[in-house]
Structure 1
Amino acid sequence: MNKQILENRTKLFAHNCVKDAVSLEGSKLGSHISGQLIRCSTSVAANYRAANLAHSKAAFTAKLSIVIEEADECGFWLEFASEENILHSSISDPLIKEASELTSIFISSRKSIQLNNK
């Protein structure tokens, strides 16, 4: 998968998470999860974009590690919102799936880079 496709995919993921996060606001828990989900989902997109501008493989790998952590965190907040019944599974499940897929893609990329550097 090329970097432009992944940049677009991570940005779309962020947009979808933000749209759903805004709908959570209204309770203290909803507002908290909303803020966390907005922060980590937009971080996935922004840090992947920044990784593609990295000046070295080490810098790229470091940024990719941030992307992995943030994508996994998105999955956590989506699962948590669903478990707390403040986000319906019909909304959360596709986003949880995408968070998991993005996490797996970026873990594989990081492993490939690390193996090629040995």
Structure 2
Amino acid sequence: MKSDLPDRTFAFAERVVRLCLVLEQNGRVSATLANQLLRSGTSIGANVEEGQASQSKADFVSKYSIACKEARETHYWLRLLASTELVSADRLSPLTDEANELIAILTAIIKKSRS
């Protein structure tokens, strides 16, 4: 069964890019946070893609572990944007929920791969 994770992380990255485009228009603080969010939010999918072409189990676990760390960082930036009211929590909720789900999926894959 083919994993939908590469497509799902790509779609997540697209949503992050669109949010960051809006944030960059709202001043220096928003642009700085947008840059942080853009780096971590797009890195998740990039590392999943690299993991798909891994040369060993250790390489696979390494790439997915990085993706999971990036998902956690992305979740942090989304929470910060909501708590500072730069973007409404309601608007960020779908992205925050997806970040949480990606963390859970990646964590499960990493644990299963290590056992």
Answer yes or no: same fold by TM over 0.5: yes
Counterpart AA for 1:41: G
Partner of 1:37: 37
1:18 and 2:22 equivalent?
Answer: no
Any unmatched runs of 5+ in structure 2?
none
Looking at structure 1, the residues matched to 69 and 79 of structure 2 have their Cα atoms a distance apart, in angstroms, of: 15
Partner of 2:88: 88
For residues 77-104 of structure 1, the C-alpha deviation after alignment (integer angstroms, 9 at most, x for no partner) is 0010011111112221110000000001
Q: How do 1:43-82 residues align onto structure 2 when only pairs under 5 Å count?
A: 43-82=43-82
Looking at structure 2, the residues matched to 18 and 91 of structure 1 have their Cα atoms a distance apart, in angstroms, of: 15
Taking structure 2 as the reference length, the TM-score comes to 0.95
1:101 and 2:101 equivalent?
Answer: yes
**In terms of mean alpha carbon deviation, does 56-65 or 25-34 score higher?**
25-34
Counterpart AA for 2:102: L
Number of residue pairs aligned between Structure 1 and Structure 2 = 114
Identity, % of aligned positions: 32
Looking at structure 1, the residues matched to 2 and 82 of structure 2 have their Cα atoms a distance apart, in angstroms, of: 32
Looking at structure 2, the residues matched to 81 and 2 of structure 1 have their Cα atoms a distance apart, in angstroms, of: 34
Looking at structure 2, the residues matched to 83 and 60 of structure 1 have their Cα atoms a distance apart, in angstroms, of: 35
Runs of at least 4 residues of structure 1 off by over 6 A?
A: none
Any unmatched runs of 5+ in structure 1?
none
Taking structure 1 as the reference length, the TM-score comes to 0.92
Looking at structure 2, the residues matched to 34 and 49 of structure 1 have their Cα atoms a distance apart, in angstroms, of: 23
Instruction: Give the Å deviation of 1:2.
Output: 3.4
Counterpart AA for 1:103: I
Partner of 2:5: 6
Looking at structure 2, the residues matched to 58 and 28 of structure 1 have their Cα atoms a distance apart, in angstroms, of: 40
